[in-house]
């Protein structure tokens, strides 16, 4: 096989592979996009819109994970509602479906904001010799430290001291003002 035939065949293969990927994506999008109520979803407790704002030391906390944990004693289960704060520190909770809120009742609340950090940044330019290559590979392979941007106590329902009561006719808009001394939910 000539080099030209090999290049042509690899381009044809790449085009076919791209076409298959597009078809699979379309099928999965159409097949997974509809909500179908079944006996399991009908057995779930009802949810009510809930959300709010997170502040730390007077500033909004972006990209924080807010978790409401409620115990349903009648079912003997715990249910969690989770939200992610935006750049203004605002969040909307979801329990079973996007933006469906949280179940009724008293919730223990956790708030975490973590990121990867600690390692040396990888160089922006390609290595010019073996030593630079080895140094860049070592930097990429070294484990990165997880950095918490909030006091650790807020990451546990047992130590956060944060609670929220979701009510049926709420607005259920909660403001959590965090600082280093202790929680001050409003």
The larger pLDDT score, comparing residue 35 to residue 19, is at 19
**pLDDT (tens digit, 9 = 90+) per residue, 8-34?**
566 666 666 667 677 677 666 655 555
- Spatial neighbors of 99 by CB under 8 A, at least 6 apart, are 49, 92, 93
Per-residue confidence (pLDDT) for residue 123, from 0 to 100: 46
What is the Cα–Cα distance from 100 to 94, expressed in whole angstroms?
A: 5
Where does the pLDDT of residue 59 fall: very low under 50, low under 70, confident under 90, or very high at 90 and above?
very high
Quick one: average pLDDT of 171-178?
97
What's the CATH code, domain 48-113+149-185?
2.60.40.1120
Give pLDDT, residue 176: 98
The domain locations on the chain are: 1-34, 48-113+149-185
- Contact between 46 and 168 (Cβ < 8 Å): no
pLDDT at 128: 66
Least confident window among 89-98, 118-127, 177-186: 118-127
pLDDT of residue 54: 98
Per-residue pLDDT at 119: 42
Residues paired with residue 54 on neighbouring β-strands, in sequence order: 176
Distance CA 94, CA 27 (A): 26
Concatenated DSSP letters for 137-173?
HHHHHSPPEEEESS-GGGG-TTTS-EEEEE-TT---E
């Amino acid at each position: 096989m000539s080099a030209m035939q090999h290049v042509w065949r690899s381009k044809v293969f790449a085009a076919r592979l791209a076409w298959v990927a597009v078809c699979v994506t379309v099928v999965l999008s159409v097949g997974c996009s509809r909500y179908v109520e079944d006996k399991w979803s009908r057995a779930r407790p009802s949810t009510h819109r809930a959300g709010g704002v997170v502040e730390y030391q007077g500033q909004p906390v972006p990209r924080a994970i807010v978790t409401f944990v409620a115990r349903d004693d009648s079912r003997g289960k715990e249910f969690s509602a989770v939200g992610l704060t935006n750049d203004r520190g605002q969040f909307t909770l979801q329990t079973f479906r996007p933006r469906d809120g949280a179940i009724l009742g008293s919730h223990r609340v956790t708030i975490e904001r973590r990121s990867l950090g600690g390692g040396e940044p990888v160089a922006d330019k390609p290595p010019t010799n073996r030593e630079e290559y080895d140094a860049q590979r070592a930097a990429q392979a070294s484990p990165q430290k997880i950095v918490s941007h909030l006091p650790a106590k807020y990451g546990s329902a047992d130590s956060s001291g944060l609670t929220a009561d979701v009510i049926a006719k709420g607005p259920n808009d909660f403001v959590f003002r965090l600082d280093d001394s202790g929680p001050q939910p409003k």
